[in-house]
Amino acid sequence: MSYSIVEKRDMVHQVHLMKVLAPDVARAAKPGQFVIIRIDEQSERIPLTIADCNVTDGSVTIIFQEMGKTTKQLATLKGGEELQDFVGPLGTPSEIDKLGTVVLVGGGVGVAPSYPQAKAYKEAGNKVITIIGARSENLLILEEEMRAVSDELIVCTDDGTKGHHGFVTDVLQKLLQSGEHVDRVVAIGPPIMMRAVAGVTKPFGTQTIVSLNPIMIDGTGMCGGCRVSVDGKTKFACVDGPEFDAHKVDFNLLMNRLAVYRDEEGISMKRHECTCGGEQ
């Protein structure tokens, strides 16, 4: 069985949106979950978080950034082409409850998996404050979509080209210091950003959830590559998570483990570039 790409479009530099026809996944998916895809029989299997689902037309939306060999290859595909595998939904769904005020913090491509969560928290009756950030205005994604499902949207750019000039953590810090009662913070983005968010919220005792999608490899718990330490216990991000209590995650170990396969990834990219003549 193969899975048709019904839409593919470029969002910002090296970030792409792809809608894939996968009715079974669309019916079952919940916020926080992911899929495993394989482009063809020779491709590696990679996990990608689900950005949206449409039960009516059976499509599942993924948003990905060109980072390694497989995502660069995926970016060359167009609408009408097919994927060999599209398996899911996988992972433990987010716990969406009516809490009061929930702050979603999305950094870079982490805004994509933040979107279904913001929508779900809003539908559950929460006040949703969303903070999204990118290095520059031309790298922001899903701004209007996030605005539509948030009571308040705050945009940040590192270079000041739009919104707050600075990091998402600056805005979060000011929000907590202002006396605004926040029941939960959910942060999704680069590990260094999630670690910084955890550092900001801990003194306030604010419950903080992070999604450890960046460390997943196999996606089924078999390879062990996504081992993380949470509250001193070994967990697997793909089957025990990907969401964990931010204040219990050993971020130093996490970031060290992210570098384990860096050399192999570089070799794979070089081989891919030689095979395809360097064309994307």
Which residue's structure tokens are 């903070």?
131
Q: What is the pLDDT of residue 265?
A: 59
Q: What is the pLDDT of residue 237?
A: 84
Cα–Cα distance for residue pair 240/237, rounded to 1 Å: 6
Q: Which CATH superfamily is domain 3-90 in?
A: Translation factors (2.40.30.10)
Annotated binding site for FAD: 63-65
Per-residue pLDDT at 225 exceeds 80 = no
- Tell me: domain 101-257, CATH 3.40.50.80, correct? yes
| Amino acid in the structure at residue 242 | P
Nearest CA to 217 out of 277, 161, 264 is that of: 264
Tokens of 32: 């926080």
Asked if residue 15 lies in contact with residue 141, where contact means CB atoms within 8 angstroms, the answer is yes
Annotated binding site: 63-65, 223, 226, 238
Domain ranges of the chain: 3-90, 101-257
Look at strands 164-165 and 152-157 and give their pairing.
parallel
Cα–Cα distance for residue pair 168/160, rounded to 1 Å: 12
Asked if residue 195 lies in contact with residue 253, where contact means CB atoms within 8 angstroms, the answer is no
Per-residue pLDDT at 279 exceeds 60 = no
Rg (CA), the chain: 18
Tokens of 249: 């995650």
31-86 pLDDT tens trace: 999 999 999 988 888 889 999 999 999 999 999 999 888 899 999 999 999 999 99
Enter the pTM of the model.
0.87
Cα–Cα distance for residue pair 182/127, rounded to 1 Å: 9
Q: What is the pLDDT of residue 46?
A: 87
4-25 pLDDT tens trace: 999 999 999 999 999 999 999 9
Asked if residue 13 lies in contact with residue 139, where contact means CB atoms within 8 angstroms, the answer is yes
Annotated binding site for [2Fe-2S] cluster: 223, 226, 238
Mean pLDDT across the stretch 253-276?
Answer: 64
124-149 pLDDT tens trace: 999 999 999 999 999 999 999 999 99
Q: Is 44 exposed, middle or buried (0-12, 13-18, 19+ CB in 10 A)?
A: middle
